[in-house]
Amino acid sequence: MSIIQRLLAPVADVRREEGPTALMMFAYSFLAMSAYNVIKPITRSKFISNLGADNLPYVQFAAGILIGILMAGYAWLMGRLPRRWALAITQIGMALLLIGFWVLFQSNATWVSVAFYVMGLILGVLLISQFWTLANIVYDPRQAKRLFGFIGGGAPLGGIAASAFVTAYAKTIGSTNLLLPSAACMLVSAFLVLLIIRRENLDPAAAPGAAVKEEKGVSAIEAFRLLRQSKHLQIIALVISFAAVGAAIIEQQLNMAAEAAKGATSTDSITAFLAQVGLWTSSIGFIIQIWLTSKIHRYLGIGFALMVLPISLGTTGIVMLMNAALWAPSLARIVDQSLRYTVDKTTREILFLPLPGDIKLKAKSFVDVTVDRCAKALGALLLLVLVKPWGLHLDWQRLSYASLAVTALWIFMALRARRGYLEAFRRSIERRDVQPSEVRLTGADLTTIETLVQELSQPDESRVVYAIDVLESLDKRHLVTPLLLYHESPRVRARALQALGVVRPDIARQWAPQIRRLLGDGDPAVRAAAIGALCAIQNEDAATIARPMLTDADPRIRMTAAVALAATGRRDDVALAEATLADLINDTSDANRSVRRDTAGALRQVRDARLQRLLIPLMYDPAPEVSDEAMASVQALGTADFLFVPTLVSLLHNRQLKGRAREVLVGYGEPVVDVLAHVLADPDEDAWVRRHIPLTLAQIPSQKTVDVLIRSLADRDGFLRYKAVAALARLRREHDDLKFAHEPIEALALSESRRYFTALSLSHNLFARAKLPADSLLGRALDDKIQRATNRMYLLLSLIYPWRDVSAVRWTLQHGDTRARASASEYLDNVLTGQLRKRLMPALEDLPREEKVRRGNVLQKTRPRNVEESLLELINDEDEVIAAAAIDLVRERKLWELAPDIEHVLAHRDVHDWFVFESASWALAECRVPDRRRELWREPLPAAAIAWQLRAMPLFASVSVDELFRIAAGGRQVRHEPGRLLMQEGAVPDTVHLLLDGTVTMTSNGEAPVPIDAPAALGLTEALQGAGARGTAKTRDLTVTLALPLEDLRTLLSDNTDLVRGLFATLASAPVPLVTPSGAGELLEQLAAGGLTAVEKVLALQRVPMFSRIGADDMLTLASATRTMLLSSGTRAFETSAAPALWVILSAELSIDLQGGGRATARAGDVIGTWAVLAGREIGASADVVRAGIALKLDREDLFDLLGQRPTLLQQMFAALFRGAAVEAAVA
């Protein structure tokens, strides 16, 4: 221990390296306050001698305005001085200013006294502000709690010393000459500041800002808004105002009494008298601060503390009314000032404690400075009315009547403040407004402590932990009861262990057996905290305690010990920890799942890179909860190391983990874009991994992201191109500042127009001119392709042109009347240029289909062709679904003249196009042996034949042909002998059977069997919603089904959101009203009243029927994707062309113009757009806000993104939809 530490040990907890700076800061506060307390009585005595005490209120009122202007000039000056030396320079400037006033006082000019008085007020603000500004730069919050009491103690001692000096020498050397010792103190202070900055190597750039913040704060408009919002803040402002007015009255009484007793011309006598009052004030204030303040708050509470100052004001007022001696106003001034800067100041700081952080940050400086200054100005005006001859002309004694009036009002507000404090503090605990790390109070009042101790018994774990944090920040950790070690919450147990580790050793040792018991706790954080607590209690390092535990029979204790060893950093200990953890990870048995999960969670506490790599095998763990926990640890470790990125990218193809993997990847931010770009461009990478990259990139908004996605528009994978376009469209909607290169987008738009016209022309040739069945598989596939090309052209145009305009044009062309469609076409014709206008306008504008075909043939330089020519082109189409469907149509129509062309396709088609090979082989087999059709059922059917069967099932009515092919490819064709059990009533099907041929019988509730013929879906609705089968299904004869295991079905749905969209569109085939009531209007209005938390969002969304039974975790995720919309009266909520979205009205009122005429009104509790979101249709109506309020908005794209990432959410959504009557009709 250093000499300085030993010297300061009785009064402050000073660390070795902090000693010299702490002593200099103490000396700085001593000298700064000495300088101020020397000149403070002189400012009053000089003014009284020249202008009289009754004129002081004039300058006090003017000073309130002048100080604001002068402080703005000070801020301007500080911004232009060298930042490192700005504080010292201003202090030297103030010292020189004092010397200048010493010179000016020789002239005996009256204005000098006025200017000197104003300068004294400014110095009172600046000196203390500069000191605490530097203190806040030098010390962090934890140091502040230990050292602020000591370094700030120099200020009252400086006040005592200076007041004693002035009292002793004012009459001897004269008031004017006392300015020189004050200037000397300031010069020494400036030198100390330079030493502190140099020693601590500080760059006090924040110092000017801090000072400005205290004086400037927030704008007047913002300040009054804050006052309106917070009733507690209003009460604080009133308490401060009454205190300022009361102090102004007492000071005026003292000045007038001094003038009357000493004589107006006795400047030095008045100076000595006022300094003597200051001496008593500083001495008593110092004693109160050291001995009495903390005891008042600790034992009597904030209520008593709030009453001390107003009661003292009233008491001294009565004394002055009864006694006209000079000691009476002196006593009043001493009591007021000694209590104001001790008990009252600390009480005021406590009153601010429960305010929300944002309000406290903005409002505290405003209330402390601006409100106080305004109250002083108001007090000055009041005093002028009371003392001037043109007013009531009261003498100093009778001014006490005003004091008594202020006392009554002040006591009333103090009582209100106490009640308001308790209410606000309880609310702040519930909302976690107070940040424990930012609490700088060295003590707290009894009421605060009692409230926090009561919180320890709360069932809500977060409130208990929060109370412990605040108690520790107030140095009251000994009040944290060890009984919390038995709390049901692991988080509370762990936090209680941390608190017990730093309490008195004799108390902690009594609880050592209970702490050892927690080494076997089920939660890893509790076990780790138990080791830490034992180390603190036994005064041993973690390695000594942990090594014997590596051989424990309980794997959880071995894991905890290994993590504790890893934290030591010693090579041997880290090697032991790695070996132990690797053994635990390699045990992939189900019995060890919880241990692996705990290990994955514990590794986030380890900082050794070698051990962190163990998270890689854990992310591949067969148990999803283990993988998920491992990714949470990767996310918690930060983004500095890209070691985990390849693993996270590969997990994008895992239906259960891709959502979390995407979240972690997005957390890396823009630096990970290059890695994702490499994967996106790699043709050898897994196709579905590549297809999930665009959505991941869309959540990292940057110009680099846009450039990467635009490069991918040239990729051969059409599905990937579509995902890239969708991702770009999302970035375009949400980030107007991003730039999109036009050339690649225009090239793809032209390519999509060619696909559009090719599909349109060939479809027209086959199904309009040749009259082939338009509902054939090929007909539907071509229609899907035409629709996809149209959609992509609009999306691409929205990347180049204003996306809102493009959306409006699209809706108008599809739904508007003749005149509106013409206007929309005219807009496109004016906006598009060059090749875009030439090739896209015929596809997009309102033209008869035959005219579109004619124009397309001209652009494509082709002509109408016959069936054979059209099919020949289609069987060679680059899209394998189109080619396979075309071959199947050739087979169905027996157009065997194309058989050689099919054989050519079979011989030369890309080997990856399996759908084409299947269809070609099947067709050629039927061509060669026409009578063997039934026998072919013994061989696997091609995907085209299965898709043909699936399209007849009602549930797949709105599913695209591409998705039907994917379903066909995802299943396994099975031939069942008669009597085979396919589905058991009451059991959740582990396999979905899509009946392709044959008949099954369904028995339910013991009723007679019901035959079901192909095609039919068996167990699909139950599998989608995770419900038990409604009947038992057995084959009646030889039957063929497409068997789709439940896990494969879920993977298929997770990878193909378009399939999910198609199923939802089928289930929502029966339109419902645009506005549907939830019946919870009153509840939703209550939720919206105070702003929405995440939990309140969940409560609101649960009132939407299709979300009513969704689990808590999924609801929280859904709430995070839902936006809170602040709706202003007279604005447009949404346009007719708006993308599908679900609106939940919480407190607003909307007037809705319905499509086709008519109006509707949506009020609190109403849900808008349910059918539009499910069916994928535009809302088809516009809405204006009639009454301002709040609504929730969930975009359809965001909903389906979530459904693709969270299988459980998708399952629950299906369950909700199948409960509806419309769904029952669709399934039937």
- Judge contact between 887 and 944, C-beta under 8 A: yes
Give me the pLDDT at residue 738, please. Answer: 92
Q: What are phi and psi of 501, to 5 degrees?
A: -65, -15
Closest among 748, 747, 731 to 739, alpha carbons compared? 731
Give the sheet arrangement for strand 1141-1145, strand by strand. 1075-1077, 1166-1168, 1141-1145, 1189-1195, 1123-1127
One domain for residues 243 and 382:
yes
For a pLDDT cut of 90, what percent of the chain falls above it? Answer: 18
pLDDT tens track for 801-837:
998 899 888 888 888 778 888 888 888 888 898 899 9
CB within 8 Å of 237: residues ≥ 6 apart: 227, 367, 371
> Which range, of 560-574, 954-968, 1032-1046, averages the lowest pLDDT?
560-574
One domain for residues 1031 and 1161:
no
* Statement: residue 110 has pLDDT above 90: no
What would the two tokens of residue 1091 be? 């702003």
Give me the pLDDT at residue 1139, please. Answer: 81
One domain for residues 676 and 596:
no
* Statement: residue 287 has pLDDT above 90: no
What would the two tokens of residue 535 be? 């180390």
Give me the pLDDT at residue 754, please. Answer: 93
Host H or E run for residue 1124: strand 1123-1127
What is the average pLDDT across 1026-1039?
88
- Judge contact between 1210 and 1217, C-beta under 8 A: no
pLDDT tens track for 1109-1151:
788 888 888 888 898 888 999 899 888 888 888 999 998 899 9
932 inside domain: no
Give me the pLDDT at residue 785, please. Answer: 93
Peptide bond into 555 cis (omega under 30): no
* Statement: residue 609 has pLDDT above 90: no
Distances (CA, A) of 59 to 122, 255, 259, 383, 534: 13, 14, 17, 12, 65
Last residue within a domain, chosen from 540, 571, 592: 540
Binned at pLDDT 50, 70 and 90, residue 711 comes out as: very high
pLDDT tens track for 14-58:
777 777 888 888 888 889 888 888 888 888 888 888 888 888 888
- Judge contact between 278 and 334, C-beta under 8 A: no
Give me the pLDDT at residue 789, please. Answer: 93
One domain for residues 240 and 378:
yes
* Statement: residue 758 has pLDDT above 90: yes
Q: 1143 - beta bridge partners?
A: 1168, 1193
CA distance linking residue 456 with residue 449, whole number of Å: 11
Give me the pLDDT at residue 229, please. Answer: 67
CATH of residue 1136: 2.60.120.10
Query: Which among 353-362, 451-460, 568-577, 765-774 has the top mean pLDDT?
Result: 765-774
Binned at pLDDT 50, 70 and 90, residue 1224 comes out as: very low
Host H or E run for residue 493: helix 490-500
Burial class of residue 912 (count of CB atoms within 10 Å of its CB; 0-12, 13-18, 19+) = exposed
CA distance linking residue 1116 with residue 1087, whole number of Å: 16
706 inside domain: yes
One domain for residues 727 and 761:
no
Give me the pLDDT at residue 1173, please. Answer: 83
* Statement: residue 923 has pLDDT above 50: yes
Give me the pLDDT at residue 440, please. Answer: 45
User: Cα 855 vs. chain centroid, distance in angstroms?
Assistant: 53
CB within 8 Å of 1179: residues ≥ 6 apart: 1074, 1134, 1136, 1138, 1140, 1141, 1168, 1169, 1172
What is the average pLDDT across 475-485?
76
* Statement: residue 505 has pLDDT above 80: no
3-class DSSP assignment, residue 476 = coil
- Judge contact between 1211 and 1204, C-beta under 8 A: no
* DSSP sequence for 1020-1045: HHHHHHT--BSSEEEESSSEEEEEEE
Binned at pLDDT 50, 70 and 90, residue 1029 comes out as: confident
Closest among 560, 630, 553 to 593, alpha carbons compared? 630
Burial class of residue 146 (count of CB atoms within 10 Å of its CB; 0-12, 13-18, 19+) = middle
197 inside domain: yes
What is the average pLDDT across 181-207?
79
Binned at pLDDT 50, 70 and 90, residue 900 comes out as: very high
What is the average pLDDT across 660-669?
89
Domain count, the chain: 8
Q: Which DSSP letter does residue 1228 get? A: -
Give me the pLDDT at residue 356, please. Answer: 62
Binned at pLDDT 50, 70 and 90, residue 965 comes out as: very high
Last residue within a domain, chosen from 740, 760, 791: 740
What is the average pLDDT across 484-510?
75
* Statement: residue 9 has pLDDT above 70: no
Give me the pLDDT at residue 214, please. Answer: 39
* Strand-strand pairing, 1016-1018 and 991-997: antiparallel
What would the two tokens of residue 1018 be? 């068996």
Closest among 591, 569, 594, 595 to 583, alpha carbons compared? 595
Q: Higher pLDDT residue, 519 or 823?
A: 823
Give me the pLDDT at residue 297, please. Answer: 58
One domain for residues 382 and 458:
no
Question: In this structure, how many other beta carbons lie within 10 angstroms of the beta carbon of residue 963?
Answer: 23
Give me the pLDDT at residue 254, please. Answer: 85
Question: In this structure, how many other beta carbons lie within 10 angstroms of the beta carbon of residue 274?
Answer: 27
* Statement: residue 661 has pLDDT above 50: yes
Give me the pLDDT at residue 216, please. Answer: 42
Closest among 968, 1111, 954 to 1017, alpha carbons compared? 954
Last residue within a domain, chosen from 540, 574, 593: 540
One domain for residues 194 and 239:
no
Calculate the average pLDDT of the chain: 82
Binned at pLDDT 50, 70 and 90, residue 899 comes out as: very high
What is the average pLDDT across 711-733?
91
Q: Which domain holds residue 1180?
A: 1070-1227
One domain for residues 848 and 733:
no
Q: Higher pLDDT residue, 1207 or 948?
A: 948
> Which range, of 289-293, 618-622, 1018-1022, averages the lowest pLDDT?
289-293
759 inside domain: yes
Helices (H), 79-153: 86-104, 110-138, 141-152
CATH of residue 101: 1.20.1250.20
What is the average pLDDT across 58-76?
72
* Statement: residue 132 has pLDDT above 90: no
One domain for residues 665 and 800:
no
What would the two tokens of residue 1098 be? 């969940």
CA distance linking residue 649 with residue 631, whole number of Å: 12
Give me the pLDDT at residue 1186, please. Answer: 92
Q: 974 - beta bridge partners?
A: 1041
Distances (CA, A) of 686 to 572, 962, 1201: 41, 19, 20
Binned at pLDDT 50, 70 and 90, residue 209 comes out as: very low
How many residues does this entry show for the chain?
A: 1228
CA distance linking residue 488 with residue 510, whole number of Å: 21
What would the two tokens of residue 1042 be? 């497409």
Query: Which among 50-59, 391-400, 789-798 has the top mean pLDDT?
Result: 789-798
Binned at pLDDT 50, 70 and 90, residue 436 comes out as: low
Distances (CA, A) of 54 to 47, 375, 393, 814: 10, 19, 10, 83
* Statement: residue 884 has pLDDT above 80: yes
pLDDT tens track for 691-707:
999 999 999 999 999 99
Give me the pLDDT at residue 429, please. Answer: 61
CATH of residue 679: 1.25.10.10
Host H or E run for residue 964: helix 961-970
One domain for residues 991 and 1108:
no
Give me the pLDDT at residue 142, please. Answer: 60
One domain for residues 1147 and 1208:
yes
What is the average pLDDT across 296-324?
79
Q: Higher pLDDT residue, 151 or 170?
A: 170
657-666: string of b/e by CB count within 10 Å (b at 16+)?
A: bbbbbbbbbb
- List the beta strands (DSSP E) in 204-339: none
103 inside domain: yes
For a pLDDT cut of 70, what percent of the chain falls above it? Answer: 85
1085 inside domain: yes
One domain for residues 24 and 172:
yes
888 inside domain: no
880 inside domain: no
Give me the pLDDT at residue 772, please. Answer: 92
Give me the pLDDT at residue 934, please. Answer: 46
